[in-house]
Amino acid sequence: MYLNRILLLVLVLLYVFAPIMTDWVAAGGTQWYRPHIIWAIVIAVSGVALYRGRSDDA
């Protein structure tokens, strides 16, 4: 089975940093925007990866 290198990197990073991110989000208290920061980073990285992928295909 072939795994894309970026997908494999994301899975490894998620495995390594998941406990740290969970503690960071849970310790938020009144800072309601912390989970949104994580999702914004995920969306931005996905957008950059898709944008670069399209220019390489042409």
> Position 55: which residue type?
S
Which pLDDT value is given to residue 27?
74
Which pLDDT value is given to residue 2?
62
When divided into structural domains, the chain yields a total of 1
CA dist., res. 54 & res. 24, Å (int) = 34
Which pLDDT value is given to residue 45?
84
- The pair of structure tokens assigned to 40 is 């914004």
DSSP state of 30: T
Name the residue range of residue 39's domain.
5-27+34-57
Neighbouring CB atoms inside 10 A of 48's CB total: 10
Axis-axis angle for helices 5-26, 34-57 (nearest 10): 170
Which pLDDT value is given to residue 54?
60
Task: State pLDDT tens for residues 1-54.
Answer: 566 787 788 888 888 888 887 787 777 666 777 778 888 888 888 888 777 766
Q: What is the pTM of this model?
A: 0.47
Which pLDDT value is given to residue 30?
60
